[in-house]
């Protein structure tokens, strides 16, 4: 006899408490293997495929795509030990039993207990097959002769397997989460698209084409409706003057990355008494040094070094001199905790919103190593593949808002860190150099710091050292 087990949304780590269902990978009636991914969810930090620790027949799913579930809420139920179609009859939908403390029924052994892809038992995933409910496999009854009977009789739609549209079966051939998000935002059914990529892979161009076609069809329908309504409007125009209803305000849920950013920034503003100081610096010598590095060839050559990588290396040198800013405040114990290593975060704007990837052990890296890690993490952020571990644990943040074409800002500290260095755009400006007016490459640097961990003298000393390194990169030779 089959045993129905309930699989709950697991704790995905890093303090996450909820997740949004992006896409179901199984339907009710599908057969799943142990550790087979059953749903794709989006947390405040990453997109994750969640595997099921049980093997059997899916009897119920909880939550629609786009809905948000808290950790510990039921995801689906699985009939373990089912061997025939009767195990997945419609009467089983929504049924759930408490999880047993020991092993499960026959046919599955016991669940692996793993919750993240890549940490399973290694068992090959069984091919999913559709278990047809009895009411669907029975021969169709002849149509009733009376029209009223057809209208009053409830109709039951035939189930459609995952991806079974236009004669195609199998999972939807989409790899990019950005493509899925774009389709979801414009209410495009990916199962109805034929991909133009390799092996039928659905690309962004396919979704864009479907959006355009939907827009054209909507425009034609709207025009026809408007034309049909014109005579009525003409007759009643004298009555409708001034009666137009005001447009409703748009409400956007604060969830996912946007919700996580809102919570963290609000907490920072509430808990941290921050202050900001800033200074203009002549970055001409730094830009010349970078150009010389990137122009080098032969044994002294190497990968291109970015301005952000050089500024990151300057930050690690400055934090070694002023460790007060590489700390956090334990409010419960009323203690300042100075951290032994520098895990440098850098702000990155993506289609999912603002994220802060973290370069681990930045204090042990040179500019070339930091630059390579920044490039790797930036690419992962762009494709939405950053893991929660790559987005947490930072001790200091570097924010290059100059890429947006602005000179200065007063950034909000990335809680629970104690400081953030902001960098504006580097642009030619008149500057007094060696007693004469000249056009130089000037940048504005700003430091926002937690006034609990240090006073203005320490913050000013840190910022002045950073500015000195920008103006005279040779100063860094002391610490290399």
Q: What are the phi and psi torsion angles at 281 (to 5°)?
A: -135, 145
Query: Which residues 6+ apart lie within 8 Å of 175 measured at CB?
Result: 201
Q: Report the C-alpha gap between 400 and 406 in whole angstroms.
A: 10
473/480 Cα distance (integer angstroms):
11
Does 186 participate in catalysis according to the annotation?
Answer: no
Angle between helix axes 307-321 and 284-295 (nearest 10 degrees) is 120
Q: Which of 186, 226, 433, 451 is catalytic?
A: 451
- The encoded tokens of residue 425 equal 């755009």
431 touches 445 (CB < 8 A): no
**CA separation, residue 31 to residues 61, 64, 77, 323 (Å):** 13, 20, 12, 56
Determine the number of helices (DSSP H) and then strands (DSSP E) in the chain.
9, 19
Q: What is the CA radius of gyration of the chain?
A: 30
CA distance 312 to 369: 11
Is residue 197 classed exposed, middle or buried when 0-12, 13-18 and 19+ CB atoms within 10 A define those classes?
middle
- Count of CB atoms situated within 10 Å of the CB of 68: 16
* Runs of H (alpha helix) within 55-176: 134-137, 147-152
Under 8 Å between Cβ of 412 and 401: no
Contact 354, 261 (CB under 8 A): yes
The Cα 28–Cα 6 span in angstroms is 14
Q: In whole angstroms, give the CA distance from residue 34 to residue 30.
A: 13
**Are 274 and 413 contacting, i.e. CB atoms less than 8 angstroms apart?**
yes
What residues act catalytically? 451
């Amino acid at each position: 006899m089959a045993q129905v087990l309930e699989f709950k949304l697991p704790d995905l780590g890093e303090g996450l408490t909820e997740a949004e269902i992006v896409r179901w990978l199984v339907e009710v009636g599908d057969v799943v293997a142990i550790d087979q991914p059953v749903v794709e969810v989006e947390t405040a930090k990453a997109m994750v495929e969640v595997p099921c620790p049980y093997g059997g027949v899916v009897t119920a799913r909880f939550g629609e795509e786009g809905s948000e579930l808290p950790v510990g809420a039921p995801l689906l139920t699985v009939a373990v030990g089912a061997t025939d179609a009767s195990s997945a009859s419609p009467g089983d939908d929504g049924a759930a039993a408490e999880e047993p403390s020991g092993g499960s029924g026959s046919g599955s052994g016991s669940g692996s207990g793993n919750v993240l892809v890549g940490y399973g038992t290694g068992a090959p995933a069984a091919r999913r097959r559709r278990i047809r409910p009895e009411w669907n496999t029975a021969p169709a009854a002849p149509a009733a002769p009376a029209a009223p009977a057809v209208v009053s009789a409830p109709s039951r739609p035939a189930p459609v397997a995952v991806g079974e549209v236009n004669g195609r079966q199998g999972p939807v051939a989409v790899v990019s989460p950005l493509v899925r998000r774009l389709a979801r935002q414009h209410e495009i059914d990916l199962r109805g698209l034929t991909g133009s990529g390799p092996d039928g892979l659905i690309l962004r161009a396919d979704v864009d084409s479907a959006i355009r076609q939907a827009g054209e069809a909507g425009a034609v329908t709207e025009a026809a409706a408007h034309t049909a309504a014109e005579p009525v409007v003409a007759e009643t125009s004298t009555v409708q003057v001034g009666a137009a209803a005001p447009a409703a305000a748009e409400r956007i849920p604060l969830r996912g990355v946007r919700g996580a950013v809102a919570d963290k920034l609000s907490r920072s503003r509430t808990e941290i008494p921050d202050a900001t100081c800033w200074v203009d610096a002549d970055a001409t010598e730094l830009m010349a040094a970078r150009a010389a590095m990137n122009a080098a060839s032969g044994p002294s050559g190497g990968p291109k070094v970015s301005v952000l990588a050089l500024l990151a290396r300057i930050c690690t040198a400055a934090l070694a001199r002023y460790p007060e800013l590489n700390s956090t405040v334990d409010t419960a114990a009323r203690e300042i905790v100075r951290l032994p290593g520098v895990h440098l975060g850098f702000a990155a704007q993506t289609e999912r919103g603002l994220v802060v990837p973290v370069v681990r052990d930045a204090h042990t890296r040179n500019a070339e190593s930091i630059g390579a890690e920044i490039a790797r993490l930036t690419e992962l952020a762009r494709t939405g593949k950053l893991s929660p571990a790559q987005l947490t644990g930072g001790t200091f943040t570097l924010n290059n808002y100059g890429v947006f074409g602005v000179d200065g800002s007063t950034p909000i500290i990335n809680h629970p860190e104690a400081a953030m260095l902001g960098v504006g755009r580097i642009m030619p400006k008149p500057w007094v150099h060696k007693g004469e007016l000249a056009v130089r490459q000037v940048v504005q640097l700003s430091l926002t710091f937690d006034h609990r961990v240090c006073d203005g003298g320490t913050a000013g000393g840190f910022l002045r050292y950073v500015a000195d390194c920008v103006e005279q990169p040779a100063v860094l030779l002391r610490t290399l």
